[in-house]
Structure 1
Amino acid sequence: MKSPAYYLRRMTEIGIGGVLSNAFLSLRHKAWAGSQSIWWGMRSRRPPGDPEFLSKTTGKWDSVQSLLRHLANRPGSSFVFPHDAQSASAALFKEKQPEYVANVISTADAICRNEIHLLGQTYRFPQGVDWHTDPVSGFQWPFWHRSRYVSYLYSARRSADLIVYWELNRHHFLITLGIAYWLTNDVKYVNAFGSLTQNWIEKNPLQHGMNWYYPLEVSIRLLAWTAAFQFFRASPAFMERCGSAFIKSLWQQADFLSGHLQIARTKKDTPNNHLIAELSGLFVVASAFPEFASAQAWRETALQFILQQADGQVYPDGMHREQAIGYHRFVLELMLLVLMRCKRDALPQERDLAPRLEKMLEYLLFSVTPAGTVPTWGDTDYGKALGLGLEKDFWDVRPLLSTGAALFNRADMKYVAQNLDPETLWLLGPDASNQWDALRARAPESASGRFPHGGMYIIRDSWSPDTDVAYFRCGPFGLGGAGYCAHAHCDLLSLVLWINGQPLLVDSGTYMYSGEWRGHFRLTHSHNTVMVDGVHQGDPKRFFGWTRVSNAECDRWDENSVSGRMTPVNGVELRRRIFHPQPGVWELTDSAKCGERGAHRLEWFFHLAPGLEVVVGEHVCSIVKDSRQIGTISIPDGGVRFEKRSAWFSYDYGVKLPNAQIYAVWEGELTETDADFQWRFDFTAGATDTGAINAKSA
C-alpha cells in the first residue's frame, strides 16, 4: 500500500485528473483480474471430461482410449523425431554413441529418484517435486490466477529468481526418461514419467500458478511433452496410468498458447525470442497432433508468423538482433525443429527458412573459440529447445554445427564440429550417420569473418587449436532501440581475445536475471571497452530493456585489422582500432576527440580470464598463469593511470567467479584533434618470462 505522501507527490506531477485517471485504470484492471480469477477458478476445478475433450478433436474416436491407441499406432516420425523403429534406434545409439547412452541411463535413473539436474546443479526432492517452489531459495510462489502476477512479478515481495524455477517446469528431463525407455524398455521410466506428469497436472490447473504466466514457458513445456510422448505413447503402462490426463492437459496447454501469443498481447511489445518460442511450440504440437480440431489453424498461423519473425529478428548476415548469443542459439534450435518438420512434410516454407538458418549456423561457425565454445555476449537464461544434450556445456555450439554439417552438407561445419553429436542423430534421423560419414571434413576457406549487419568482426590466424582470435562487437545496441533491447549489454567496441589457443580477455557474462547483481553484469564496466565521463552506453531499466542506447559502426575491416566508432557521448567521438601484426601480438588504439574543447574522463576495463593474474609494472602489466609470465600488456603513455582490480566473471547461471581486471583512467582536455591511446598485447616468446613468478606478488 502506497503512502499518502506518494499520492500528494503524484498529484503535483500529473494533476488531480491524472491521479483519478490512473486510479480508474488500476481499479478496472483489478476488477478484470478478479473476474478472470473467479471464472477460471471455477473452470480449473473441473478438468475436461471425455466428451468435452473429444469434441475438440476431429471427431473420429468414441473414447479417449481409442484416440490414444490411434496415436500409438502412428509412425514415430510423424511426431518430433524422424525415428520409427524403437529397436533400430536403440541399436544405432548403442553402436554410435555408447557414452551418450550410458549418460542418458544414469541421468534417467537419478530422475527416478527425484534427483533433477538443472543449469549445472543437481536438486533433490525427497518428498516429491514441488512445482510452485523455487529449488534454489525455497521461495514458494503464491497460487493465484495468472492475471494477478502482473504487478507481483517484479515487485519487492518477490524474493527469488525465476530462471531455475522455470527450468524445472520446462520438463526437459521428461525427454530423458523417454529416451531411456526407448533404449532399455524398462517400465520404471514409464512409471516415473507418469508420476511426474500426473502430479504436475493435478497441482497446475488451467491458468493457475506461475507456470501459466508466460506463454513462452508453456510452449517450451509443450515441446518437451510432445517429444516425450513419442517415446511413451505405445506403452500400456502409460496409457493405463496417465494417458488420458496427459493428452487432455497437452491439448489445454496448446489451446491456451494459441490464444496468448505475443502478437496478441500488446502493440507496445517488440517481438523477440519469446514469440519465436511460442510459435515454434504451437507449430510442433499442431504438426504432431493433427487430430486436434484446431491443429490446422494453429499450424498455419504459427508458420506464417515464424517466417515473418525469421526476417524481422534475424539479420541477413545470420545474427539474431537481440545481440545476445545465448538467445541466438535458443532461436536457432527452435527454428531447426520447424525446418525439419517442413522438410518431412514437404512444405514450401522450407525454401524460405533453410537459407536463414544456414546463415545463423555460419555465425556460430566463425564465433567458435579454440575450445569449441562461443563468447558469452549479452544476456542468457541458458534456455534450450529440447535439451537433448543433457548437461553439456551450454556455450559449446559444436552439437549445432554437427547438425548443420549433416543438414546442409557443410564440410567446414563438420571440420569444426569434429564429431557426430547424438543431438544430430535425434533431429535428423538414422540417415544422418551415413550423411556424416560421406562428408569429407574441410577447414573453412577463410579464418576470419565479418557480420556487418549485426556488427561482429572476427580476426583469426587459422583453425588450429593454438590460434589467436579476436571478437569485436561493433554494431547496433540491441533489438528495438531505446525503450527495448531487453537482452543487450553495454558491450559496444568490446574485445574478446584468445591468444595461443587460450582465453585472455573475456566477456563477463550474465550471472542472474534479478537482484543487485543484475545491473552490474550488464553495464559498461563489465566489458572490455571504454567509458566516457562515467556515462554508460545505455541507461538500464530495472531488469530488462534500456531507456537510452548507443550504437557503433565499423569503418574498416580486413583479415588482420578492424576499426569502428561509437555514438558520441558528451560530444566526445570515440574510435577503436585493432591491428594484428603477427601471431601473439595485438595492438589496440583508442582515439578520442571533441568538437568543443573541454575536460573529459576516459576509463578502460580489461577483464582477464579466470586463472590469470596481473603483476603491475611501470607502464606494463605482466600476465601470469600458474606462476609463470605468459605475456605483457603495455599501457598508453600520456598520463594514463592504471591498476589491477578484482572483478567477476559468470559462465554458468547463478555462479560468479573472481577474476582480475586491468583498470585505467585518463583525465584531460580533448580537442577536435584525435588523442590516441595505444595498447599492445605481446604474448610472443620474447615477452614470456621462462622463470617462475611469485604468485602472491600478483
Structure 2
Amino acid sequence: MATADAALRDTFTLQGVTAVQPRRPDGGFDWDWRGPRNDPEWAWFFNRHLVFTDLLAAYQQTGDVRYRDRILVTLDDWIAQHPAPSGITFSAAWRPLEAARRVMESWIPIYAALRDDPAAFPPERRARFVASIRDHALHLRNHHAFSGNHLITEMLALTRLGLTFSDLPDAAGWRSYALDRLARAYEDQVYPDGAHKELSSHYQRVVALNYQELLDLLRASGQEEAVREWEPRVHRLWDYFAAIMKPDGTNPLNNDSDTESVAALLRQYAPHIRIPEQTVRLPWAGQVIFRSRAAAAADAAGVRGSGFGVQGSANAAAANNAKPRTRNPKPAAATPPPLLYAFFDTGPRGTDHDHADFLHVSLSVGASDFLVDNGRYTYTPGAFRDYFAGPSGHNVLLLDGLGPDQGPRAVTAAADAAGVQGSGFRVQGSDSRFPSPAGNPKPETLNPEPAASAAPAVEIAWGDTTFASASRPAFAANPRAADWRRLVAHVPGRAWIVVDRVITFSPATLTTLWHWSPECTVEPVPGQPDSLIVSRSSATLHVRHAASQPVPADRQQITARSRPSPQGWYSPRFNMLEPASCTQLDQAIRAPLVNVWLFSPAALPGASIRISADHRIVVQLDPATSLTLDPEAPGKSAVTGTMR
C-alpha cells in the first residue's frame, strides 16, 4: 500500500533511490527524466511501469478506484506519447529491454486483471492497448538485442506476447521465432557447467528466472516434448547457483552483482538440488569454490569454541526451516561446525558486465563474510564505476597502480590439468582431488554425496597472468612488465594459504589489496608486525604474512576514501554505498618476490611461514603439521602430520 500511495503523489523508488517524477506542462509525466542523479537507469526503470502491479494490488485490496484510474491514465499518456520507433533505439521508452520488461511485468498482468472491467477497458482504450501490444511485439521481433541477457529477456517477452495474444495475426510467428532464438541463445550463452557467460551472479539470476518462466509457459501450454528438452537446461542454471552459494545462502558478488538470496531461489525453483559441502570446480567458468567443515565449532549457545573464533552460525536455509519449540523438546543436536568457504576466480572475465577481477579471492567463515568482492554500485561512468569494476575494488595485485591482464571474455574449452583454459588464455589448472565436471554434467555432478572417507589433506588451485608494459615506460623493452602466479591452498577445516609469486627484474611498486566486509574490524597483532586479527561479532579471522625477501614496505588500512581515487567502499546492492576497510600493502621490488598469506579462523599460536631461496614454502600450522608448497610446481604440494 505504501508504494501505491506514494505513486498517487508522483513519488517513486527505483533501485533504492526515491524522487518525485516531474510532469510536462500538459499534465503527463516527463518520461525522459533521468532521476535525481541524472542516471539513465532511472528513466529506463520508470518506463517499465513496475508500479502498476502495486497500484493493482492496492485496488484489489481496497476497491478504491483511484489506484485503478492512476494505472489507466498513466497507460493512456504513455501510449499517446510513444508511437513505435522504426528501428532499434536506446531511448527510455523503447529500448528493447524496457519494451520486454514493460509487457511481461506490467502490461500483461494488468490486462489480465482488468480487461473484463468495462470501466477499465472500454472499446476505445482496448483498441489502443492492443495496437500498442502489437507494436511491442513487432519491435521485439525486428529490433531485439543481438546477444546477452537482454536478448533472452526480449525473446521471453515475445513468447509471452505470442501466447497471451494468440488471436493476433502474427502471434504464431512470434512464438516460433522467439523459441528458436531462446534455444540458440542458451547454446551460445551458457557454459556446460551451468554458468551464464556474463559470469555475474546477478545476471545469472535474471537468465535462470527467464528460462524458468519459459519452462513454466511450456508446461502450462501442454508442450510436453519441449518441456522434456528444456528441463535439464534450466536445472543446469540452478546447479551453478548451488555450486557457488555462500554459507549464508547468498551469492558472491562476482562481476556486476547484488547480494541476493540464492537459498530462496533454490528452495522455490530447484528444491531437488543438493547443496555441496565439499569443494567444487567449475572448469568452464574457471571458478573454484573451496568448502569444508571447520575442525572445531562453537557450542549451541554461541560460546566461542576451543581454538576457533566462531559463535553459532547456522546456515540460512536451515534457519528458515526451523520448527517451533514444543513443551517437552528433545535434547538439541550439537551445532554443526561452520562451513569454511572460499571463491577463487581463475576464469574468463565475462562477456558483459565484467570486472577486472582475475585471480580474486573471497573468504567466509560460516555466515560471516571476511574477504569480499565489493559489488557494482553504479553504471554511471566516473571514479566510482572505475573503482567497483576495476582491479582496485578487488582482492588482487597492482603493479605501479595498474592491474594485470584479464584474459578473454569467454572460453571455448574447459580448464584441465594441462593448464589450457581456452584460445590464447593460460590457466594452470586445479588439483584433481576434487570434483571436476566435464562436458554436459548432470545436476548431481556438481553436488557430490558427502565423502565417506577423510577429507583430502590439501586442495590447490592456481592461475597465471601478466602485467603488460604498454603503460609503463620502464618496461618498454619487454612486452611484459611482470608475471604473476596466484596459488590458493585450502587445508580443509583449518586454513587457506594464498601465495603470490611475481617475477620482474625492474623497479616497481607491488600493491596487494585485501577488501574486508563492512562488519569487519581489522587490527594489528601487538608484537607481530606481519599479522592481523580481523573480527566480527560472530567470527574471527587470523592473518599472517611473509615475504621471500625483505623489501621496503608500507601497510595501511583505508576506509571510505574518495580522493585521489576511491578505496575502502562496499556496495551490497545497486546504488548502495557503505564504508569498508581495505588492507593495502605496498612493496618496492626490483627482483622476483613471493608473498605468502595464511588465513585461519583459529589463532594457530605455533604457526610459521618459511620461504627458501628457490621459493619453496613451508607453512607450519602447529608443531605436528606442516604444508609444503612450490609455486613452480603447485601439484607437488605435500602435507606432513594430521590435518584434523
TM-score by length of 2: 0.70
Q: CA deviation at 1:376?
A: 1.4
Distance 1:557 1:535 in 2: 33
Q: CA deviation at 1:217?
A: 1.7
Contact 1:457 1:562 in 2 (8 A): no
SS of residue matched to 1:238: coil
Contact 1:222 1:254 in 2 (8 A): no
Contact 1:376 1:395 in 2 (8 A): no
Contact 2:242 2:276 in 1 (8 A): no
1:339 to 2:339 alignment: no
Q: CA deviation at 1:366?
A: 2.6
Once the two structures are superposed, residues 472-510 of structure 1 have per-residue CA deviations (whole angstroms, 9 ceiling, x without a partner) of 11111222xxxxxx3111111101111242111111111
Distance 1:557 1:605 in 2: 29
Once the two structures are superposed, residues 379-403 of structure 1 have per-residue CA deviations (whole angstroms, 9 ceiling, x without a partner) of 25x7xxxxxxxxxxx6223342133
SS of residue matched to 2:571: strand
- Distance verdict in 2 for CA 1:608–1:197, change over 3 Å: same
Pick from 389, 394, 407 the counterpart of residue 522 of structure 1: 389
1:487 to 2:387 alignment: no
Distance 1:135 1:600 in 2: 44
Q: CA deviation at 1:237?
A: 2.4
Pick from 377, 385, 391 the counterpart of residue 254 of structure 2: 377
Partner of residue 215, structure 1: 96
Contact 1:178 1:232 in 2 (8 A): no
Partner of residue 355, structure 1: 232
Distance 2:492 2:126 in 1: 64
Distance 1:623 1:488 in 2: 29
For 2:404, give the aligned amino acid. Answer: Q
Distance 1:526 1:550 in 2: 23
Partner of residue 454, structure 1: 285
Contact 1:476 1:551 in 2 (8 A): no
SS of residue matched to 1:556: coil
- Distance verdict in 2 for CA 1:402–1:190, change over 3 Å: farther
For 1:469, give the aligned amino acid. Answer: Y
Partner of residue 134, structure 1: 34
Percent identical: 25
Q: CA deviation at 1:125?
A: 4.1
- Distance verdict in 2 for CA 1:629–1:283, change over 3 Å: closer
Once the two structures are superposed, residues 232-268 of structure 1 have per-residue CA deviations (whole angstroms, 9 ceiling, x without a partner) of 22223221384333222222122222110234xxxxx
Give matches, 1:362-511, under 5 Å.
Answer: 362-380=239-257, 395-405=260-270, 410=272, 412=274, 444=275, 446-462=277-293, 464-465=314-315, 466-479=338-351, 486-511=352-377
For 2:237, give the aligned amino acid. Answer: M
Pick from 582, 589, 594 the counterpart of residue 676 of structure 1: 594
- Distance verdict in 2 for CA 1:261–1:448, change over 3 Å: same
Partner of residue 514, structure 2: 606
Give matches, 1:591-602, under 5 Å.
Answer: 591-593=501-503, 598-599=506-507, 601-602=509-510
For 1:495, give the aligned amino acid. Answer: V
Give matches, 1:317-328, under 5 Å.
Answer: 317-328=193-204
Q: CA deviation at 1:456?
A: 1.5
Q: CA deviation at 1:123?
A: 3.0
Greater CA drift, 179-188 or 516-525: 179-188
Contact 2:542 2:603 in 1 (8 A): no
Greater CA drift, 338-347 or 503-512: 338-347
Give matches, 1:548-627, under 5 Å.
Answer: 552=427, 554-556=429-431, 558=433, 561-569=459-467, 570=480, 572-583=482-493, 585-593=495-503, 598-599=506-507, 601-617=509-525, 618-625=529-536
For 1:357, give the aligned amino acid. Answer: V
Greater CA drift, 188-197 or 496-505: 188-197
Contact 2:248 2:366 in 1 (8 A): no
Give matches, 1:43-54, under 5 Å.
Answer: none
Q: CA deviation at 1:282?
A: 1.1
Once the two structures are superposed, residues 563-609 of structure 1 have per-residue CA deviations (whole angstroms, 9 ceiling, x without a partner) of 12123332644222223325463221222346xx5555432111011
Partner of residue 441, structure 2: none
SS of residue matched to 2:570: strand
1:177 to 2:55 alignment: yes
Q: Which has the higher helix share?
A: 1
Q: CA deviation at 1:175?
A: 2.7
Distance 1:451 1:639 in 2: 37
- Distance verdict in 2 for CA 1:526–1:583, change over 3 Å: same
Distance 1:359 1:497 in 2: 25
Once the two structures are superposed, residues 404-462 of structure 1 have per-residue CA deviations (whole angstroms, 9 ceiling, x without a partner) of 23xxx5163xxxxxxxxxxxxxxxxxxxxxxxxxxxxxxx3544322111112111225
Give matches, 1:37-116, under 5 Å.
Answer: 105-116=1-12
Distance 1:193 1:339 in 2: 30
1:301 to 2:219 alignment: no
SS of residue matched to 1:636: strand
Distance 2:227 2:314 in 1: 35
- Distance verdict in 2 for CA 1:410–1:500, change over 3 Å: closer
Distance 1:209 1:493 in 2: 34
Partner of residue 193, structure 1: 71
Contact 1:376 1:508 in 2 (8 A): yes
Greater CA drift, 179-188 or 239-248: 179-188
Q: CA deviation at 1:367?
A: 2.1
For 1:281, give the aligned amino acid. Answer: A
For 2:131, give the aligned amino acid. Answer: K
Give matches, 1:247-262, under 5 Å.
Answer: 247-262=130-145
1:651 to 2:558 alignment: no
Q: CA deviation at 1:519?
A: 1.6
Distance 2:11 2:507 in 1: 59
Runs of 4+ in 1 over 6 A off after TM superposition: none
For 1:230, give the aligned amino acid. Answer: A
Contact 2:155 2:179 in 1 (8 A): yes
Distance 1:449 1:115 in 2: 46
Q: CA deviation at 1:533?
A: 5.1
Structure 2 unmatched runs, 5+: 294-312, 316-337, 408-423, 435-457, 468-479, 560-567, 606-644
- Distance verdict in 2 for CA 1:216–1:538, change over 3 Å: farther
Partner of residue 666, structure 1: 587
Q: CA deviation at 1:658?
A: 1.6
Contact 2:378 2:385 in 1 (8 A): yes
Partner of residue 166, structure 1: 44
Distance 1:237 1:550 in 2: 62
1:287 to 2:163 alignment: yes
Distance 1:115 1:131 in 2: 14
For 2:191, give the aligned amino acid. Answer: Y
Partner of residue 56, structure 1: none
Contact 2:31 2:93 in 1 (8 A): no
Q: CA deviation at 1:213?
A: 4.8
Structure 1 unmatched runs, 5+: 1-104, 138-159, 264-270, 383-393, 413-443, 480-485, 541-548, 688-698
- Distance verdict in 2 for CA 1:234–1:213, change over 3 Å: closer
Distance 2:242 2:152 in 1: 22
Q: CA deviation at 1:679?
A: 0.4
Give the superposed CA RMSD: 3.0
Q: CA deviation at 1:525?
A: 1.5
Distance 1:322 1:582 in 2: 30
Pick from 116, 120, 134 the counterpart of residue 16 of structure 2: 120
Q: CA deviation at 1:670?
A: 4.1
SS of residue matched to 1:623: strand
1:234 to 2:116 alignment: yes
- Distance verdict in 2 for CA 1:566–1:186, change over 3 Å: farther
Once the two structures are superposed, residues 72-107 of structure 1 have per-residue CA deviations (whole angstroms, 9 ceiling, x without a partner) of xxxxxxxxxxxxxxxxxxxxxxxxxxxxxxxxx443
- Distance verdict in 2 for CA 1:123–1:377, change over 3 Å: same
